[in-house]
Amino acid sequence: MLTAAIVVVHVVVSLMLVLLVLLHSGRGGGVSDMFGGGMGASAAGSSVMERNLDRITVAVAVLFSFTTVILALRLQ
């Protein structure tokens, strides 16, 4: 039962991580241009929204790593 719950959390976190990585602006602007993230080259990386997106992505990546390790230990 606990393993199934961790798998569900892991799948949700992995989908969130994919979405957050796609929202980051790359060299060409990326998907974040669709949501108003591409305001110009001078503001790239320095806006509050971009910093918050970075923080959220790191937190979700840490949670993804944690659930991966927990699943690896539970499935041994």
Residue 6's nearest CA partner among 76, 70, 73 is 70
Q: What is the pLDDT of residue 14?
A: 98
Confidence check: pLDDT of 1 > 60: yes
Q: How confident is the model at residue 47 (pLDDT cuts 50, 70, 90)?
A: confident
What is the pTM (predicted TM-score) of this model?
Answer: 0.74
- DSSP-derived 3-state class of residue 46: coil
How is the chain split among helix, strand and coil, in percent rounded to 5?
Answer: 70, 0, 30
Contacts of 6 (CB under 8 A, 6+ apart): 67, 70, 71, 74
Q: How confident is the model at residue 69 (pLDDT cuts 50, 70, 90)?
A: very high
Q: Where are the domains of the chain?
A: 1-17+46-76
